Every structure is written in structure tokens, then in C-alpha cells.
Structure 1
């Protein structure tokens, strides 16, 4: 281990000692759950340990920590929303069609990966993809809704499909 890595780990250790209690409280206020707050605080410091940023130059460590924790909290809420939507859809199905807990976890993970992929797409590409795949609209109707040509919608769909293929390869 190099001296730079050692000093970075020592700095994260110092940040943890100085700010973990504050960060836990900050997250607990927003989440309303001490257990989830502790998990996200821990994830924040793990993210710091894996970071390539020069942490020793931080002037406002709490602002930096809260920014990282906020991003993790948004991801947590997004995951909760996807899981809740899936479980609501599942509850509407006959019990005989219900997947096993393992299958449910795989489905939720897949939905989260699709959600993350969609968020990486440019806005109009994402809209075209959702209108086509979820709403079943034709390219002509999508073009009218987005105010673009049908040829542009085809380009958007090609871009979205490429992202889907890359997701499958992961």
C-alpha cells in the first residue's frame, strides 16, 4: 500500500470519527429510520474509501459528506419506489402466478438496472423509448408528441436499444 493511499485511509478514518454521529443524525431526520440511516452513513464512508478524490483538500467535509449521502438517499428512495410499484403490480396478480422471493429479487434488480439505464439516456431518447415500449405508440405519434421528425424518433429508438443491449451484456 502506498503512502498516499495510507494517508487517504487515515483521513477517511478521521472524517468517520469526527462526523459519523452528525451524518447519522442528518440521515435519520430525513429517513425517519435509524437502521437505514446507519446503513447509508456507512455506505457514504465506503464510497469515500473507494474514491480517487484528494480528500485532504476538503474545506467543508460535512457539505461533502451530505452531498454523497444525499445521492445515496435518492438511490435508496428510487429503489423503494421501484420495489413498491412492482409489489403493487404483483399483488394484483393471482397468487398462482406469484414468483418466488428469489425471482422477485432478480426482477427488482432488473427493474432498477433498467431505471438507471433510462436515467442515463437523454430526455427525448428516454421519452421516445417509454412512449414506444410502455405506451405502445407508433413512431409517427411519438414524433408529433416530441415535436421531431419520425426519422429522429427512429434514431432515438436505435440509441435506446443500444443502451438496452449494453445493459444485457453487463
Structure 2
């Protein structure tokens, strides 16, 4: 290991040692849950390590500002994920008992929903709705246009944008 690699490992270690408790406290205040805060703190530093290994980690003059940015993004994703899980569990609660999936099927469905949510992240809400209505509800463009109060031509543009996004997204 050369001197630059050793210095880099020391600086990442120092970053963790100097700021992880502070970040975890900040996350705990926002989440009200020490376990989730600890998980998101670790996820933040995993992202920092990944950026470092990919050589995309910026020069950190203000490490706390950088950690807050990464931590906030993970916090938003955490809330989105929990909201999606609640909606899924509510939908399951409304199913007749004969149609309730097994625990294994529930887990697979939930993971699929998370993957779909991540795939569509970044699309404007109207484009996202149009895509989901077409794909999940089987609505045609005319029905989607009525729901969104736009023209069918706009729905076609939305769908093209959604398909392009799905093809180009880097998962």
C-alpha cells in the first residue's frame, strides 16, 4: 500500500471518528428512532467509502455539510420506503383472506415495489402516474389523459419519457 492510500484510509477513519456520532444524533432527532439512525449513519459512511473508492469523493472542506447532504438523501429514501411499505400493508389488509399472499410472496412483492419505486425515482409526478396507470392498471392513453386532464399526445410524450428513463437508469 502506498503512502497516498494509507493517508486516504486514515482520513476516512478520521472522518468517521470525528463525525459519525454527530451525524447519528442529527438523524436520531429527525427519526425518533436510535436503531434507524444508526443504520442510516452506517449507510451514509458506506456511500462516502464507495465515492472514495470510485474516486468521486470531493475534497471535503466542510465534512459535516457533505455528510448532511448524503444523510438527508438517505433520510428521504427511508421515509419514501416506509410510506410505500405502509401503503402496501394497508392494501394487504383490505384483501380477502383467500387472496392474502404468503410471507415469502409479501417479501418478494415489497422488494419489487421498492425496486420499481427506485427505478421511477426522478420522473415528474405526472409522468410517473401515467406510466404506472398504463403498466399496472392497464389504462389506455385516452383514460390516462382524462385522469391527468391532458391531451393523449401529452400522455404519449409522458410514456416515451418514462420508457426512456427506464432504459437509461443506472441501477
TM-score of Structure 1 vs Structure 2, range by shorter chain: 0.7 to 0.9
- 1:157 is matched with which residue? 159
Q: 1:84 to 1:143 in 2, by over 3 A?
A: closer
Q: Please, which runs of 5 or more residues in structure 1 have no aligned partner?
A: none
Q: How many residues of Structure 1 are paired with residues of Structure 2 in the alignment?
A: 166
Question: How does 1:81-96 map onto structure 2 within 5 Å?
Answer: 81-96=83-98
TM-score by structure 2 length? 0.80
Contact 2:44 2:71 in 1 (8 A): yes
Contact 1:126 1:160 in 2 (8 A): yes
Question: How does 1:24-103 map onto structure 2 within 5 Å?
Answer: 24-51=24-51, 52-55=55-58, 57-103=59-105
TM-score by structure 1 length? 0.80
Partners of 1:158 and 1:64 in 2: CA distance: 35
Q: 1:142 to 1:87 in 2, by over 3 A?
A: closer
Task: Give the root-mean-square deviation of aligned CA atoms.
Answer: 2.7
Q: 1:162 to 1:67 in 2, by over 3 A?
A: closer
